[in-house]
Structure 1
Amino acid sequence: MKRSNTIKMVFGIILTAGVIFGAAGTYDALNAGKGSVAEAAGRVVSIDSCTISGDSVVVDVSAENLPGSDDGKYYLYADEVYQDGVTGEVVATTDKGKKATFKFDLALGKKESNLSKKFLVAVKSGGSMVQVSDEHYITNPEAIASKTVGRNDHGIKGILPNDADAATFKDLGIAQMVYNLYMGDIVGPSTNGAYPTTEFSYDGKTYQFNTAALQQYDGFVRWCSINNFQLTLTILNNKTEAGADLIHPLSRDAHVCPGYAMNTKEDAGTQHLKAIAAFLAQRYSGGQFGTVDNWVIGNEINARTEWYYMDSTNLELNVSEYVKAFRIFYNGIKSVNANARVYNSIDQEWNRKSNPGCFLAKEYLDRFNYYIRREGNVDWSLSVHPYNAPLFDPYAWKQQSQYVNTSLSTPYITIENIYLLTDYMNRAEMLNPAGNVRQISLSEIGYTSSFGEDAQLASIVYAYTMAKSNPYITSFILFRETDDAHEMESHIAQGLKNLDGSKKQSYDAYKYMDTKEAGTYKAKASKIIGQDVDALVANRTFMSRNGWFLND
């Protein structure tokens, strides 16, 4: 039930196209292999802030009860993301106290750069160094952003395309696009002599990028900018020879899927990820190629076996490793373009696993938020795919009661109960550092016409009205503009057009949302549904059915 486009194009030429279906305690260390995450005892020193100030990093700490020590000093360690405890480098010392401040060089661009490292306080006790604080990351990488550009926010209506058809998208009034970028394809030497290898120096090392592969993305980013489509890029970690070091050690078996866990366990992979984050941000923050406003790090990350594979069923291990990769990309991107937004990604399986090897979306989101808050809260955003349950169910406004309800225990989050998610994100513990609700993108959503074009029309009108009325939803990305023959074998015909290019009823319905003609299509949808669409949305009216047929 997991979906994401795999279209690849060099402008004017389609290379491939298709869809693959698809708190208690403190984290201390990862045990070897596939082991669990150990929980540490309470630590008496708190890192209250870790921020960039000019060319320096300033870390403020506090402690109600001072730890014992041999010399009355605090030592600040800088660890790489794969290190735990007092194994990194001491970057600063200060006198022990109930309040203390460390200040040291950011070392941006140097081998010892601290931009994406994690920091911890230790004391010398009995001749050995002992960790006395949790780890903490820099939380304001935007302070050094050198290529910040204005965002292109001008509407939530979007599409996840399977063709580069500007005329269709402009006719539809599309404001946003989502596109996949495969990391393994863009690294290493160029695969076409006509496009010499691009070299990029980062933190004292030179990395190679495949200029021939980059043409696809350069062209699409530029095309979106020219046509005034705001762009979201989803970064997927695929397996290639050139990108072998990007694959997590627990993801290197024979399992096949479109995306694998990123390598935050080894130094080479970690440094490579840092370079990729900086390279992409610098390349697509204004300039000749245009701008990517939004970056999604991985796709449906709770869907372990399908989209973010690692050979471990331990939730803590999987989430903690993903958080490290997210930190690398967050700090790498925001340190270039302060206005960029960086998203994680979950599917609609809130409290139900269609695949027992995956994780629940809610439990994954909760643990992600736990680690981010514990190690330094940042302004992450949320990407969610609230498809119907099951995916080929045609009735968005009246889901089956076994799958969808109005309690937080609901098996699925679909558009009918999307307010459960946005209400949940209003909770104090889920807010961003400024105390605001995070940006929430419905970055994939779609409805089949396999059981009637009228149901698809009503579902799209209802869903878009739900999204538009919700102040926390910033994107409504419809999947897709044209049907796919392979998907149709599973009764999934989510395009606004048929295979022959002819328009379905839903085409004009989507087109006229947000226009003065919207009322005509809301009236059509209301007649199909049997109740007024605007009233359903405004009142959060929840309807359900017991079986497959609409009147069950």
Structure 2
Amino acid sequence: MKNVKSTRHVYGLVLALFVLMAGIQANAAKALNQAFAVMAGSVLLDKNTISYTAVLPELPASDDGAVYLYELQPFEYAVAPTAVPVASAPATLNPAFTLPYTEARLYTKLGLAVKSGGQNVLIANPQYIANPELLATHTKARQTRVLKSEQGKDFCNLYLSENAAGIIAGRYTTAQVMNNGGNQAITNPYSRAAIMPTDTRPVQPRHYMLNASEPAGIAALASELSKIAANSTVENFIIGNEVNVRAWNYMIWTDWDSYIREYAQSFRVAYNAVKSQNANARVFVCIDQNWDRNRPIGHQEYYEFIDGKDFLEKFNALVAGEGNIDWGVAQHPYPVPLTYAKFWDMSGCPSGSYMAAQVSSGKMMTFQNLSLLTNYLQSPEMLSPQGAVRHVILSEIGLTNAQGTEVQAAALYASYVAAKSNPFVEEIIYLLSFSEPQVDTRLSGQSQLVYDSLGTANEAVYDAWAKAFIGISDWSQVIR
């Protein structure tokens, strides 16, 4: 009897241990969602073949032991129950597929999924082709670029809604791609006139979000930018203007994650359209001076702009998650405020102490503290696919002459020094034709002389003059 009790006791312990281990293993099984895969990627092997690969941590639980590859539009983030896969195979830890390249697949994503409970469940982030430049047939050598350039001469605003033919008159090297809302087909559905009355946080639109949320919008955007990249002298494409500010890239209020997702969709379409024509072209996202102000929910400005730092973080996460690409940053390093150029002495500026503190604390970014941006872009998670710091241009800056031409001249020179002394800034583009009360950036007298000297042998003469005028012995006293 004692032996029987002992045997039963041992059996009970073994059974309990088995149940416990089974429970641990069940709990350890990784959840089936887009974070399941360790990695996934889609690249062109040649101009006719797409390669999709993934790495899985374990075999995913599924209804049938298979994995399926689906083709998704930029605006699709789940697989419909009725969707037809483009490929399938028995599940392995390293699923790999090859597909024929088609032009449509330049703008779609490939998503790996399993069937679970009768549903198609994505187990990896859908992936775009990450090397569209392999397709390029109109690649041009990069033009010799100097540090200083000028809007209207080297730079143009490109309104796609007015440019269906994809033609640019002039030999511009940089184009800022924008949408004035005149063509509803290329205007995001959440940005159209019909939906604006429903905006719970209305702002006055200046420009409108591009449309990569409908097949017709994607086709129009891709067609126009492909033609321009192939047939013009433009080699730098800036997608939108100060897109961290809703008024400049209008969409009705939803939330910032949704807003940035809509922008990332249009950016990806634009990037692939451009790079598939000219492999040496560069494509930039554009931000303004708001860098790290951290407006709380409920604050009026929370719904008007998102900090540039937060925008880039969210944008980068979306892009990297769907196939990292070599995007760059175009920033506008105007003084704060735009109406006051005498940045070294804010005593004559209304709220001058507050404005100065916004810059010195790193909440606002001007030419005085460009290292905020370039230091941030050196962080490992922000590097390009090649492991390099991303391309940076200062695509718009003007200095008001409201405080006099000498103040304008000194501030102008300081902005140039800031760009020149930062090894990651490739170009600074001046806006010299803007004329409104308090913000008139036109040059005359000393400011014209200083501007003309930049990049010439006479530059050093005005360097000494500008430092003396500001009252410093070294530029590090006012620039970091």
| Same fold? TM cut 0.5 | yes
Task: Tell me the SS of whatever aligns to 1:59.
Answer: strand
**Which is richer in strand?**
1
Aligned equivalents of 2:163, 2:390: Cα separation in 1: 31
Is contact 1:294–1:343 with CA below 8 Å preserved after alignment?
A: yes
Q: Name the structure 2 match of 1:43.
A: 35
Aligned AA (1:179): C
Aligned equivalents of 1:396, 1:220: Cα separation in 2: 36
Aligned equivalents of 2:439, 2:464: Cα separation in 1: 25
Question: Cα–Cα, structure 1 residues 117 and 47, in superposed 2: closer, same or farther, change >3 Å?
Answer: farther
Question: 1:274-353 alignment to 2 at 5 Å?
Answer: 274-284=222-232, 291-304=233-246, 306-352=247-293
Are 1:251 and 2:198 matched, yes or no?
no
- Within the candidate set 208, 214, 217, 1:269 is matched to 217
Aligned equivalents of 2:34, 2:274: Cα separation in 1: 33
Q: Name the structure 2 match of 1:449.
A: 401
Greater C-alpha Rg = 2
Q: Name the structure 2 match of 1:183.
A: 160
Q: Name the structure 1 match of 2:307.
A: 360
Per the TM alignment, residue 451 of structure 1 is displaced from its structure 2 partner at its CA by: 0.8
Aligned AA (1:469): S
- Within the candidate set 364, 374, 380, 2:321 is matched to 374
Is contact 1:348–1:361 with CA below 8 Å preserved after alignment?
A: yes
Aligned AA (2:189): P
Aligned equivalents of 1:475, 1:49: Cα separation in 2: 33
- Within the candidate set 117, 121, 144, 2:108 is matched to 117
Q: CA RMSD in A?
A: 2.3
Aligned equivalents of 1:89, 1:384: Cα separation in 2: 43
Is contact 1:404–1:411 with CA below 8 Å preserved after alignment?
A: no
- Within the candidate set 89, 92, 96, 1:97 is matched to 92
Q: Name the structure 1 match of 2:431.
A: 479
Aligned AA (1:443): S
Per the TM alignment, residue 376 of structure 1 is displaced from its structure 2 partner at its CA by: 1.4
Q: Name the structure 2 match of 1:470.
A: 422
Aligned AA (2:178): L
Task: Tell me the SS of whatever aligns to 2:180.
Answer: coil
Deviation by residue 1:481-502 (Cα, 9 ceiling, x = unmatched) = x452xx1x2x112112xxxxxx
Stretches of structure 1 that go unaligned for 5 or more consecutive residues are: 1-39, 165-176, 188-208, 225-230, 285-290, 497-502, 545-552
Q: Name the structure 2 match of 1:146.
A: 137
Q: Name the structure 1 match of 2:176.
A: 234
Aligned equivalents of 2:353, 2:58: Cα separation in 1: 53
Q: Name the structure 2 match of 1:427.
A: 379
Aligned AA (1:144): L
Aligned equivalents of 2:88, 2:109: Cα separation in 1: 16
Aligned AA (1:138): I
Aligned equivalents of 1:123, 1:327: Cα separation in 2: 26
Is contact 1:404–1:410 with CA below 8 Å preserved after alignment?
A: no
Q: Return structure 1 stretches of 4+ with deviation > 6 angstroms.
A: none
Task: Tell me the SS of whatever aligns to 1:366.
Answer: helix
Aligned equivalents of 2:402, 2:143: Cα separation in 1: 35
Q: Name the structure 1 match of 2:13.
A: none
Q: Name the structure 1 match of 2:168.
A: 218
Is contact 2:168–2:228 with CA below 8 Å preserved after alignment?
A: no
Per the TM alignment, residue 408 of structure 1 is displaced from its structure 2 partner at its CA by: 9.5
Is contact 1:298–1:308 with CA below 8 Å preserved after alignment?
A: yes
Question: Cα–Cα, structure 1 residues 78 and 483, in superposed 2: closer, same or farther, change >3 Å?
Answer: closer
Task: Tell me the SS of whatever aligns to 2:385.
Answer: coil
Query: Identity of paired residues, percent?
Result: 32
Deviation by residue 1:442-463 (Cα, 9 ceiling, x = unmatched) = 0011211111111111111111
**Which is richer in helix?**
2
Deviation by residue 1:166-191 (Cα, 9 ceiling, x = unmatched) = xxxxxxxxxxx22101111123xxxx
Stretches of structure 2 that go unaligned for 5 or more consecutive residues are: 1-31, 197-202, 347-351
Query: TM-score, normalised to structure 2's length?
Result: 0.84
Deviation by residue 1:251-306 (Cα, 9 ceiling, x = unmatched) = 1135753311112222222222222222222222xxxxxx11100011100110x2
Aligned equivalents of 1:401, 1:367: Cα separation in 2: 31
Aligned equivalents of 2:180, 2:441: Cα separation in 1: 26
Is contact 2:69–2:88 with CA below 8 Å preserved after alignment?
A: yes
Per the TM alignment, residue 512 of structure 1 is displaced from its structure 2 partner at its CA by: 1.1
Deviates further, 335-344 or 129-138: 129-138
Aligned AA (2:62): S
Question: Cα–Cα, structure 1 residues 137 and 403, in superposed 2: closer, same or farther, change >3 Å?
Answer: farther
Deviates further, 358-367 or 246-255: 246-255
Aligned equivalents of 1:118, 1:440: Cα separation in 2: 28
Aligned AA (1:442): L
Question: Cα–Cα, structure 1 residues 459 and 72, in superposed 2: closer, same or farther, change >3 Å?
Answer: same
Aligned equivalents of 1:131, 1:398: Cα separation in 2: 57
Aligned equivalents of 2:353, 2:42: Cα separation in 1: 47
Aligned AA (2:477): T
Question: Cα–Cα, structure 1 residues 102 and 492, in superposed 2: closer, same or farther, change >3 Å?
Answer: same
Q: Name the structure 1 match of 2:367.
A: 415
Question: Cα–Cα, structure 1 residues 531 and 407, in superposed 2: closer, same or farther, change >3 Å?
Answer: closer
Q: Name the structure 2 match of 1:500.
A: none
- Within the candidate set 69, 75, 78, 1:82 is matched to 75
Per the TM alignment, residue 126 of structure 1 is displaced from its structure 2 partner at its CA by: 3.4
Aligned equivalents of 2:210, 2:412: Cα separation in 1: 35
Per the TM alignment, residue 137 of structure 1 is displaced from its structure 2 partner at its CA by: 1.4
Deviates further, 77-86 or 123-132: 123-132
Question: Cα–Cα, structure 1 residues 42 and 334, in superposed 2: closer, same or farther, change >3 Å?
Answer: closer
Aligned equivalents of 1:409, 1:366: Cα separation in 2: 20
Task: Tell me the SS of whatever aligns to 1:403.
Answer: helix
Question: Cα–Cα, structure 1 residues 386 and 483, in superposed 2: closer, same or farther, change >3 Å?
Answer: closer
